[in-house]
Amino acid sequence: MSDTPLTRIGLLGGTFNPVHNCHLSIAGQAQRALALDRVIFIPSGAPPHKSGESLAPAHHRLSMVQRAVADLPDFAVSDVEANAPETSYTIDTVRTLRATVEGEFWFIIGLDAFLEIAGWKSAETLLASTNFLVLSRPRVPFSRMASLTLLPPPPPLQLERLDEGRQQRLDHPIGPQTTITFLRIDPCEVSSSDVRERIRTDADVTDWLPPPVHSYIIEHNLYVPH
């Protein structure tokens, strides 16, 4: 048996509509906190939980993420969802990546989205087979984890310490093979919807977007009224 440690891989999914500087900041903070060898961005194709959102075509969102991380060697991009012929679910994505990428997976997700995991496809199987890194979100307290009955509850006092800023991280084993790590990160108020609205109104987004992404949006005339 080899004693070589497994490659630690973060999986960061999202619509990335478009990808912006906060996404890169989140990935970097996650990478440093867990000593991840690589963070793989996974732009969605037709996400099951955002069917009402107006999305740029998947190939454009994939291309923008590829350009955003092209000069960042610790970041990579997977087209496993963007090029999927049907709606992609996280459990299917993880299974597909396990067949081609060897390593210890950490699925990176915001606290607000994680609180809805009970409604995900095969949620219990996913939690039993994949580690999660759950990141703080503005105005969403970690103490709300107490209402999530799908997994053993974290210690309430430590959740309170996270909410109060007296603790930055909580590692919570939920089974023999998986852990959920809760992490306070630097808040970033920029959202993709903010970016789209500023582009629609011809406002400046220079400080919000990686330059190659900004250039791509201009080149392809994305997010402007037609």
Alpha-carbon gap, residue 2 to 226, rounded angstroms: 58
- Give 106's strand partners: 10, 131
How far apart are the C-alpha atoms of 218 and 204, rounded to whole Å?
12
* Phi then psi dihedrals of residue 162, to 5 deg: -60, -45
pLDDT along the chain (226 residues), means of 10: 76 97 97 97 78 79 98 97 91 96 96 96 96 96 93 94 97 94 92 96 96 98 90
Rg (CA), the chain: 18
CA separation for the pair 190, 65 (Å, rounded): 17
**Cα 89 to chain centroid, rounded:** 14
Which of 29-58 are b and which e, b meaning 16 or more Cβ less than 10 Å from the residue's Cβ? Answer: bbbebbebebbbbbbbbbbeeeeeeebbeb
Q: What is the pLDDT of residue 100?
A: 93
d(CA 10, CA 31): 7
The CA distance from 209 to 72, in Å, is 15
Model confidence, pTM: 0.94
Report the pLDDT value the prediction gives residue 1, as an integer from 0 to 100: 43
> pLDDT value at position 225?
85
Position 47 scores a pLDDT of 64
pLDDT attached to residue 99: 95
Question: Residue 4 has what pLDDT?
Answer: 63
